[in-house]
Amino acid sequence: MDEAPELRLLFHRLNNQLGIILAHAELLEAKAADDASRARAAQVVSSTLEAMGTAKEIRQRTSLGSVEPQ
């Protein structure tokens, strides 16, 4: 990637944080005692996956001259 090392580090940290959120949400979803709790955890999973996709898109758009088609 052509972005500055600082920007690359920020994206790496963001992806690590989102990955941790995703793992915990999936665990909560799997261990939920009732449908309401399971649905809330599933929403966190879905939102986290969406956020990861958004972060990837931002990274692609901020990379100098390297925008990949989706």
Q: pTM for this structure?
A: 0.80
Query: Does residue 66 sit in helix, strand or coil?
Result: coil
pLDDT exceeds cutoff 70 at 37 = yes
Average pLDDT on 6-25 reads: 95
pLDDT exceeds cutoff 60 at 15 = yes
Q: pLDDT for 58-68, tens place per residue?
A: 999 887 445 45
In the block, residue with structure tokens 């901020």: 62
Query: Residue 1: its pLDDT value, please?
Result: 47
Distance of CA 58 to the CA centre of its chain: 12
pLDDT exceeds cutoff 60 at 40 = yes
DSSP 8-45: HHHHHHHHHHHHHHHHHHHHHHHH-SSHHHHHHHHHHH
Q: pLDDT for 25-36, tens place per residue?
A: 999 999 999 999
